[in-house]
Amino acid sequence: MPSSSRRPRVHTLVEWLRWLVLAAAVAMLVVFLVAQGQRADVRYGQSPATGTIAGGSAGEQTGVTLPSVQQLTAMVAASPVVRLPGSIAMWDTDQVARAIGGADVHILVTPPGLSQQQREEVDSVDNATVRVIGTEVSGDVYKVASGNLADWRATLGRADVTSGLVLLINKVAHGSSVTHAGSTDASGTWRDPTAAELDPVAADLRSTGFHAAKGATLSAKPTKAGAQAFGTGGALYVALPAPPPGAPAPDYGPALGRLFPDTPLVVMYGDWIEYQGPHAADFAELAAASFYARFGDRLSGYAYSQDQVLGAYLATVTDIRYAGLFDRPLPYRPADPLRIALPALPWLFAACVLAFLALSVRSLLRPAKASRSLSRRTGGDDARLAGLTALAVEVSGLTGARTDPALARAIVALRAAREALDERLPRRRVSDLLDEADRELDLVGRRVEFPGYRPAEYLRGRLA
Amino acid sequence: MSSSWPVWLTGCVVLLAAGLATALVPRWRAREQTLEGAWLAAHAAIDSATVSRDAATTPSVEAEQLLARAEAISSGRGGRSAAREAASLARRADELWRAANAE
């Protein structure tokens, strides 16, 4: 029979499909629930830059020891300018003396990188009119903040605090209402580098793309951050210590830009970073302004290494680049399959649920299969029932008073067996009833005077 | 994204309901069939006992009582144990009548 041999296979296939659909639905549910845990991402354009360093963790505190507040007060009282060892701030003494005029002004200069407690101690030296921590100038209730790139270049690139000092002294000692200093970073303090200065730098840049002069704290070329900021080509890096103010310093940027046209070039003087190269006109000022507006205050008071300053600058550049302001090509970012699949997921899930429901209902609507283990209608029981019924009919003509009750009981059992078969009741029940009918008919067959009417013999004869 | 929540919730409920139904309905159906089979056997036993009683020449009061009890139980239509008890009572009555009329 082809249908009975094919049906179980189709059935197992359907059952497998049902479990498969259920597993898919559960998997989708899990994916959906996991995706609910997404965090807000505030970076514009998925910029990979990470420019966050916790305060005090980057070695920006130099760990210098200061004299006590009493000693500092005595030192300040004894001298108009107190420079503690390690101080870096410089200024044009003529301009500052002119600003002081006849006023009683005392200046206390400390090295950068004081701890919070040391800063409070310096603040509590009351007779100091002006305090300079690193290149951070403060006095009375005021604190000088650089307002343009030239100021930042002077203070961070050359440790020149002249304009801040003049501004603050005018304010504190003379009550001036001027709140913005004019630029003091005159063009005369920079000059073109000589060939002897330029050649070793250019040679280094040609061979490794990286030049760190003696005294610079940049230890290695920032390859990864550089690639994020400037594309796979990276950039050339020149790190120089802050040139002292006073004498004109060599300005490597334009000279190297002429030697390496169309190549991103980063030149560092101390904490001051200049960019030369493609898009410089659009981009260099914006990058410098956003970087120093954010970090300039921190850089002036602490002693960060050039590695950290450059890393933070490159992170800023990366952010700007990923903002898409300058049509610079973004690196390829593969599409996230989860983001694409997420809107379709509920409907796929619903489809799986419906399929599972349909297959479940289908399996429930097939009662033969549902209680397969309990009552499978087999040919054996049917044949036995038919045979025993035929025997009962045949033997009924031969019975007497002694065998009638047994025959009647056999017929009762046969009728019950027929009903059990029709109702697909458990198989054991059917065979029990057939056994009983068998026993009763055996009783009848033994008492009939003709041989061959006992069920075993009769059924064997019927089959033959 | 939040608008898809009803789909997920309804889907989960439907999945659970369908799973429970496919697990429980066949079991419940099998129990029904077993009960039905037990009563079928009980009725068959009562019927055979009735046949034996009708054929008996010597009455047996004890068998009569047993059969009456079996019939009383079967008229109530109880659970499986009731069906089993009715069947065993009827069988014992049947045996008593058969033993009394064997000779």
Distance from the Cα of A184 to chain B's closest Cα (Å) equals 57
Q: Do A370 and B8 touch (CB under 8 A)?
A: no
**Least CB-CB distance to B48: which of A370, A412, A420?**
A412
Tell me, yes or no, whether A138 lies in a domain: yes
Tell me, yes or no, whether A445 lies in a domain: yes
Same domain, A199 and A166: no
Give the angle A388-A391-A393 at the CA atoms, nearest 5°: 115
Same domain, A357 and A274: no
pLDDT in tens, chain A (464 residues): 344 456 677 778 888 999 999 999 999 999 888 888 766 655 556 666 665 666 666 677 777 788 888 898 998 888 888 898 888 888 888 888 888 888 888 999 999 888 888 889 888 888 888 999 988 898 888 888 888 888 888 888 888 888 888 888 888 888 777 766 665 545 457 888 888 888 888 898 888 888 988 888 888 888 888 888 887 777 899 999 888 777 788 888 888 888 888 888 999 988 899 998 888 887 888 889 989 998 888 888 888 888 888 988 988 888 887 776 666 566 666 777 777 778 888 999 999 999 999 998 888 887 554 444 444 455 677 888 888 888 888 888 777 766 678 888 888 888 888 888 888 787 888 888 888 888 888 888 887 777 777 887 787 777 65
pLDDT of residue A39: 66
Same domain, A200 and A314: yes
Q: Do B11 and A375 touch (CB under 8 A)?
A: no
Q: Do A413 and B44 touch (CB under 8 A)?
A: yes
- What residues of chain A lie within 8 A of the CB of B22, using their CB? 360, 363-364
A292: domain CATH number is: 3.10.310
Query: How far is the C-alpha of A247 from the C-alpha of B14, rounded, in Å?
Result: 83
pLDDT band with cut points at 50, 70 and 90 for residue B65: confident
Q: Which amino acid does the sequence have at A360? A: S
pLDDT of residue A20: 93
Same domain, A363 and A405: no
Same domain, A203 and A315: yes
Across A194-221, b (16+ Cβ under 10 Å) vs e yields eeeebeebbebbeeebbbbbeebbbeeb
Same domain, A17 and A100: no
The whole-model pTM stands at: 0.53
Q: Do B33 and A425 touch (CB under 8 A)?
A: yes
Query: How far is the C-alpha of A278 from the C-alpha of A84, rounded, in Å?
Result: 43
pLDDT of residue A374: 43
What total number of domains does chain A contain?
A: 4
Which residue range(s) make up the domain with A312?
187-322
* Residue A444 near residue A407 (C-beta atoms within 8 A): yes
Tell me, yes or no, whether A6 lies in a domain: yes
Q: Does B102 touch chain A (CB under 8 A)?
A: no
Query: How far is the C-alpha of A314 from the C-alpha of A297, rounded, in Å?
Result: 18
Q: Which structure tokens are listed for A255?
A: 């000279």
Query: pLDDT tens digits, residue range B89-103?
Result: 988 888 888 887 764
Helix (H) or strand (E) holding A463: helix A455-463
Same domain, A195 and A305: yes
List CB contacts of A47: < 8 A, sequence separation 6 or more. Answer: A318, A319, A321, A322, A323
Same domain, A117 and A75: yes
DSSP type of residue A90: B
Same domain, A155 and A205: no
Same domain, A219 and A305: yes
Torsion of CA A343, A346, A352, A355, to 10 degrees: -110
Same domain, A155 and A214: no
Which sign does the torsion angle of CA A291, A296, A297, A298 carry?
positive
* Residue A191 near residue A249 (C-beta atoms within 8 A): yes
ipTM of predicted assembly, 2 dp: 0.80
- What residues of chain B lie within 8 A of the CB of A433, using their CB? 40-41, 44
Tell me, yes or no, whether A282 lies in a domain: yes
Query: What does R_g of chain B's alpha carbons equal in angstroms?
Result: 24
pLDDT of residue A1: 39
**A373, HSE (Cβ side, Cα atoms, 13 Å):** 5
Same domain, A133 and A226: no
Query: How far is the C-alpha of A311 from the C-alpha of A309, rounded, in Å?
Result: 5
Tell me, yes or no, whether A329 lies in a domain: no
Tell me, yes or no, whether A59 lies in a domain: no
The total of other beta-carbon atoms located within 10 Å of residue B25's CB is: 15
Distance from the Cα of B31 to chain A's closest Cα (Å) equals 10
